[in-house]
A = this chain, B = another copy of it.
Amino acid sequence: MFEQLFHSINEKIQITGEDLGEIKQFFVSRKLRKRQFLLQEGDVCKYTAFVEKGSLRSYSIDEKGNEHILQFALEGWWISDQYSLFTGEPSSYNIDAIEDSDLLLITHASFESMMNKIPRMEKYFRLLLQNNMIALHRRLVASLSLSAEEKYTNMVNAYPNIIQRVPQHMIASYLGITPETLSRIRKQMSSVK
């Protein structure tokens, strides 16, 4: 159950087997069926989720009813609404499962206890956040400066695994383009190729 998580931690910091054992206590596991919600807009986000298996997405819905996908999370990724989690304010995002998934959940309170008990974990999360920031900056620059086609080829190169596992209209939403445009781009790319 904890393979992916332990792998992720070991990748970033030095940690003893004892500490890893300790860590288990702070989490609860949960299975989520495809299309099932982990968080719905208006609710307070209670957990940060780590994906052991499957895939989730977080997204917001604008006034016109359009979904905008913020993040995909496959195996080994974390997902939550940090803002809602920290402040206790109702979330403006939804998180649901794209495929049947196995998660490890940790509450804000457990998270803080874990940090106090195993201070070494501060570094793990700091590094995690740092990498996330870098990726998010890249995505932002892409969204500001690239054409629809460039955004897509960019994504294919950066996350080929996501492209394969996630429905096309979600990719479009993630890139901030319409499903129609994405369909046309793919058509044109395959004919040129």
Contact = CB atoms under 8 A, between A and B. Distances in A.
Contacts of A8: none
Interface string A132-169: 11101101110111000000000000000000000000
Interface residues of A, number: 28
A23 interface: no
A126 B125 CA distance: 7
Nearest to A84: B134
A32 interface: no
B176 A145 contact: yes
Contacts of A122: 119, 122-123, 126
A155 B113 CA distance: 36
A137 B70 contact: yes
Contacts of A115: 123
Given A70-B137, A83-B134, A119-B119, 4 more contacts: A60-B141, A66-B145, A129-B129, A143-B144
